[in-house]
Amino acid sequence: MAHDDRSLPPHELWAALSWEARERVDAHVVRRARLRATREVLDAGVLPRPGLYACLELVHVREEILADRLVPPPPRDADTLTAGARALGRPVVALELEWDWDSWGTVLVLSAVDGAGERTCLAQWQGVPWDGPLAVAADVAGRLGAELRGPGADGP
């Protein structure tokens, strides 16, 4: 990610943050709370206020630096997702796979849909081949007797 012309590069922006702000940013980064970490940088009182992309870039750099401390992503295997869908307390009539985009790229979201049309996110994948999540979603849908909706086998 390139920084905008009016913002500091990541190492200078990090140096401009107070020790307390750095601690809060890293705490969010380690918990994989990217948006909270970005908000923390934006609200840290650095003047001139950094641009959004500079803050996102700093969070990305901190993720790379703290990679060995990041909490593992939640399990996204068929057993765990089936149990999560059954724990909703209402029958799941469909699973939906949808592509979404955030500041870090494409995200594949798996949602459970009940008879009233209410959606509950079960899992998200980012930076993985499309066929893995599709196979897991198909397995979970089969176990639940639910329809699988979403993009075809070709991916996004």
Structural domain boundaries in the chain: 10-69, 78-149
Per-residue pLDDT tens for 1-11?
444 445 789 99
Per-residue pLDDT tens for 8-55?
899 999 999 999 999 999 999 999 999 999 999 999 999 999 999 999
Per-residue pLDDT tens for 97-123?
988 876 667 788 899 999 999 999 999
pLDDT of residue 1: 46
108 Ramachandran zone, left/alpha/beta (phi>0; psi -120 to 50): beta
Residues 6+ apart with CB under 8 A from 32: 70, 71, 73
Per-residue pLDDT tens for 123-141?
998 878 888 999 999 999 9
Average pLDDT over residues 64-87: 95
pLDDT of residue 6: 58
Give me 5's structure tokens.
Answer: 């012309």
DSSP H helical ranges for the chain:
10-16, 19-30, 34-42, 52-65, 78-86, 131-144
